Amino acid sequence: MSELDEIREKVDIVELISRYVALKPSGKGYKGRCPFHPDDTPSFYVSPEKKLWHCFGCGAGGDAIGFLMRIERLSFREALERLAAELGVELRRSGEREKLLEINAAAERFFRDALNSPEGKSARDYLLSRGLGPEVWDRYGLGYAPPSGKALLSALSRWGISDLEKLGLIVKGERGYRDRFVDRVIFPIRDELGRTVAFAGRSLSGAEPKYLNSPNTPLFEKGTLLY
């Protein structure tokens, strides 16, 4: 059994979620108010049998790891490590792939913070003009790549140039490395486990191309994922 399967099997999803959401028995499972959207209904259901949760209001759902990632804003690896420690499951050392996912998670947080910063105003205005409000930004992890061209590079430099380049987050130009995404609204591209494997950026300044994607990387091959 993989360590992931072991965690999924051992975790008490009702206990985990009830640390954050007041749950009441309902049918075969439990229900409560969704922590991810304003919810008076309540429309958030947890199935101990399937070990899954789902919100019929906002459509969010997933397993215990996905819940923890979302509510605590953790990367997949961080959530996995936290649950593993609680459940006494021993994890193998984080491999290359996990490290790259970790960096993408850090990049996503960087873009999100930038969207909510004064610099992100044009991006917020753009999203609002498309009818996409803060709830949607949060749900899909939308962000903003600042216009300086070096912002992400300097924020994530501790991860090392070569991995940032491998992920297509930075590119080498005539004057050294710079951010791939500059003055763009950022849409994370996620895999089936909710992990961010790539990014798409929509130009705000009229710069071409209008939509710029991550290149093929060890985590992402174009055409193999839908988002």
Which of 13, 55, 169, 189: binder of Zn ion (CB under 5 A)? 55
Which of 4, 33, 51, 57: binder of Zn ion (CB under 5 A)? 57
Cα–Cα distance measured from residue 112 to residue 186, given in angstroms and rounded to the nearest whole number: 9
Tell me the closest approach of the beta carbon of residue 38 to Zn ion, in angstroms. 9
Q: Quick one: which H or E segment has residue 46?
A: strand 44-47
- Other beta carbons less than 10 A from residue 120's beta carbon: 22
Cα–Cα distance measured from residue 34 to residue 83, given in angstroms and rounded to the nearest whole number: 21
Which of 13, 34, 169, 189: binder of Zn ion (CB under 5 A)? 34
* Residue 103 structure tokens: 């960096």
* Residue 60 structure tokens: 């969010």
Which of 14, 29, 30, 36: binder of Zn ion (CB under 5 A)? 36
Which residue in this structure is represented by tokens 């999100």?
A: 112
Pick the stretch among 56-64, 94-102, 145-153, 158-166 that binds Zn ion (CB under 5 A): 56-64
Which of 37, 51, 82, 166: binder of Zn ion (CB under 5 A)? 37
Q: Which residues bind Zn ion (CB under 5 A)?
A: 34, 36-37, 55, 57-58
